[in-house]
């Protein structure tokens, strides 16, 4: 009898939470040769996330329960270099970074993937709520997880074919409730463990400001209105985020004012009324279309949790107006590359809040597939013409 083909070897990244625990269990049921690893990324204070000793213990005990070999990889240096330091630098530049995106880009889906490959694993799995779909031409697309409330495809937008090809997201087809139910059925101890929230290296008690204080200088700045009237002062322009309403040193204003622009270089925060926070178009400098430009209306998500909005992606500086002349069709890859270099913008169906530079923006088509992702690179200062008349 010919020997049975060996099972695919998969390295599952276990954070100690319920999703990755169930991911490991599912892969095992599906006949993979499963090995678990927990990444140690952050040695400082943490509420939860993926690095505390208790989370490693949870992951290890779940692996023990499943009969899966468990290891710990310390990627602390890489995490500091690629996630924590840039997080500080981005704030210094007056942007609002998304460290989870950078962690996925550089740690989980680069460093870990390369480590897995060096150790002869065929695949890497995580407990992210996201799905993979294959197109007729055989390419992989990233889709939202079945559970819309828990979908994490937003923080995975940067994954390319080469990475997607070696990834599995076993819980993407399940709702969170199903994941927890499965965990209970399998006797997994993390079945009722609360979801992790927010940035793993920022504690709720300490907050972002206390984290950044010893790591960077803050610049005091003035707060001005859209027509450049000085209204107040802030101690740290670097801590102001677009859309922020509180802690702007404003009092006695007749209406609520929001940060609509942060110019860290000049140390100026511009505030405006709600309708000045809104804009009809949002520039997005560099874009990476997954499979060429898409002219149809897309669902645009610009924060990890919370609402998304509808809009079109159009090239700017080509005389296309916000009311929506059709996007020039791309006839070849060369055309697409050419267009990519010209800069793009989102044309909102209804005006949306300005998006802070540094934030990721992810575009979904009607089938919930990601067709485009990018990072807001530029400020979007208020010019009267960009505000839609009410």
Partner 1 sequence: MTQNPDCAYLDHAATTPLCPEALEAMQPFFDERFANPSGAHWMARDAMRAVNDARDKIAELFWAEPGEVVFCSGATEADNLAVFGIAGAGQAGGVAKAGQADRLVSTGRAGDADRVGMAASVGGAEIVCSAIEHPGVLAPVERLGGTTVGVDSKGIINLEELSQVIGKKTKLVSVMLVNNETGVIQPLAEIAELLAERAPQAVFHTDAVQAVSWLDVAEHAKSAHMISLTAHKFRGPKGAGALIARRGVDFRPLIFGGGQERERRAGTHNVAAIVGLAAAAEIAVSHRVVNAQRVSLLRDQLSDHLKAVVPNVVETGVVETAAGTDRSHKIAGSCHLCFAGVESEALLFLLEREGVYASAASSCASGAFEPSHVLAAMGISRELAKGSLRLSLGTCTTQAEIDLACRAIPPAVGQLRKAAA
Part in contact with partner 1 (CB under 8 A); list of ranges 66-74, 213-221, 261-269, 287-295: 66-74
CA atoms lying within 13 Å on the CB side of residue 129: 22
Write the CA distances from 300 to 34, 294, 365, integer angstroms: 36, 13, 9
Q: Decide if 330 is catalytic.
A: no
118 binds partner 1 (CB under 8 A): yes
Part in contact with partner 1 (CB under 8 A); list of ranges 46-54, 179-187, 257-265, 366-374: 46-54
Part in contact with partner 1 (CB under 8 A); list of ranges 72-80, 144-152, 229-237, 294-302: 72-80
List the structure tokens of 357.
């530079």
For CA atoms 249, 253, 259, 265, the dihedral sign is negative
Contact by Cβ (8 Å): 244, 236: no
Closer Cβ to partner 1, 38 or 375, answer by number: 38
d(CA 1, CA 129): 41
d(CA 303, CA 160): 20
Of the residues 9, 61, 65, 71, which one makes contact with partner 1 according to CB under 8 A: 71
Of the residues 45, 64, 117, 288, which one makes contact with partner 1 according to CB under 8 A: 117
In the three-class reduction of DSSP (H, G, I as helix; E, B as strand; rest coil), residue 124 is classed as strand
Q: How many CB atoms lie within 10 A of CB 171?
A: 31
Q: At what angle do helices 18-29 and 176-185 cross, to 10 degrees?
A: 70
In the three-class reduction of DSSP (H, G, I as helix; E, B as strand; rest coil), residue 18 is classed as helix
Q: Decide if 279 is catalytic.
A: no
List 51, 103, 279, 347, catalytic entry = 103
53 binds partner 1 (CB under 8 A): yes
64 binds partner 1 (CB under 8 A): no
Part in contact with partner 1 (CB under 8 A); list of ranges 45-53, 179-187, 230-238, 355-363: 45-53
74 binds partner 1 (CB under 8 A): yes
Closest approach of Cβ 258 to partner 1, in Å? 40
Closer Cβ to partner 1, 74 or 135, answer by number: 74
Q: How many CB atoms lie within 10 A of CB 195?
A: 10
Contact by Cβ (8 Å): 348, 323: no
Closer Cβ to partner 1, 51 or 224, answer by number: 51
2 binds partner 1 (CB under 8 A): no
56 binds partner 1 (CB under 8 A): yes
CA atoms lying within 13 Å on the CB side of residue 121: 24
Closer Cβ to partner 1, 16 or 373, answer by number: 16
| Closest to 106 measured CA to CA, from 161, 163, 166 | 163
Closest approach of Cβ 102 to partner 1, in Å? 21
Closer Cβ to partner 1, 48 or 345, answer by number: 48
Of the residues 14, 20, 60, 63, which one makes contact with partner 1 according to CB under 8 A: 60
Contact by Cβ (8 Å): 192, 17: no
Rounded to the nearest 10°, the torsion over CA 148, 151, 153, 154 is 90
144 binds partner 1 (CB under 8 A): no
List 50, 200, 279, 347, catalytic entry = 200
Closer Cβ to partner 1, 32 or 348, answer by number: 32
Binding mask 220-249 for partner 1 (x = CB under 8 A): ------------------------------
H or E element, residue 211? helix 207-212
d(CA 219, CA 234): 9
Closer Cβ to partner 1, 20 or 153, answer by number: 20
139 binds partner 1 (CB under 8 A): no
Exposed e or buried b for every residue in 353-363, given b needs 16+ CB within 10 A?
A: bbbbbbbbbbb
List residues with catalytic annotation. 103, 200
Binding residues for partner 1, per CB under 8 A?
38, 40, 51-53, 56-57, 60, 71-74, 76-77, 114-115, 117-120
């Amino acid at each position: 009898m010919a020997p049975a083909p060996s099972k695919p070897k998969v390295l599952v990244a276990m954070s100690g939470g319920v999703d990755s625990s169930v991911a490991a269990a599912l892969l095992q049921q599906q006949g993979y040769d499963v090995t678990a690893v927990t990444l140690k990324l952050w040695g400082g204070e943490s509420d939860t996330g993926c690095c505390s000793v208790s989370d490693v213990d949870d992951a290890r005990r779940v692996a023990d329960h499943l009969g899966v070999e468990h290891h710990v990889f310390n990627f602390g240096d890489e995490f500091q270099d690629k996630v924590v330091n840039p997080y500080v630098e981005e704030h210094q530049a007056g942007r609002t970074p998304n460290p989870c995106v950078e962690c996925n880009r550089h740690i989980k889906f680069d460093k870990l993937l390369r480590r897995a490959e060096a150790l002869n694993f065929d695949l890497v799995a995580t407990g992210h709520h996201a799905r993979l779909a294959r197109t007729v031409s055989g390419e992989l697309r990233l889709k939202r997880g079945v559970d819309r409330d828990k979908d994490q495809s937003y923080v995975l937008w940067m994954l390319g074919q080469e990475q997607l090809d070696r990834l599995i997201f076993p819980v993407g087809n399940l709702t969170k409730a199903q994941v927890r139910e499965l965990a209970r059925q399998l006797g997994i101890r993390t079945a009722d463990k609360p979801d992790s929230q927010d940035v793993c290296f920022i504690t709720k008690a300490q907050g972002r400001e206390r984290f950044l204080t010893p790591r960077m200088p803050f610049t005091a700045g003035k707060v001005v209105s859209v027509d450049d009237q000085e209204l107040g002062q802030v101690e740290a322009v670097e801590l102001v985020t677009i859309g922020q309403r509180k802690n702007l040193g404003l009092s006695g204003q007749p209406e609520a004012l929001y940060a609509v622009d942060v110019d860290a270089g000049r140390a100026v925060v511009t505030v405006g009324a709600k309708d000045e926070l809104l804009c009809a178009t949002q520039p997005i400098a560099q874009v990476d279309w997954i499979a060429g430009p898409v002219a149809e209306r897309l669902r645009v998500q610009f924060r990890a949790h919370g609402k998304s909005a509808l809009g079109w992606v159009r090239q700017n500086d080509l005389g296309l107006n916000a009311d929506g002349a059709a996007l020039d069709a791309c006839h070849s890859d060369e055309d697409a590359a050419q267009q990519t270099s010209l800069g793009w913008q989102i044309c909102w169906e209804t005006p949306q809040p300005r998006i802070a530079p540094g934030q990721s923006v992810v575009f979904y088509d009607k089938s919930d597939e990601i067709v485009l992702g990018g990072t807001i690179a530029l400020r979007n200062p208020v010019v009267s013409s960009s505000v839609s008349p009410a």
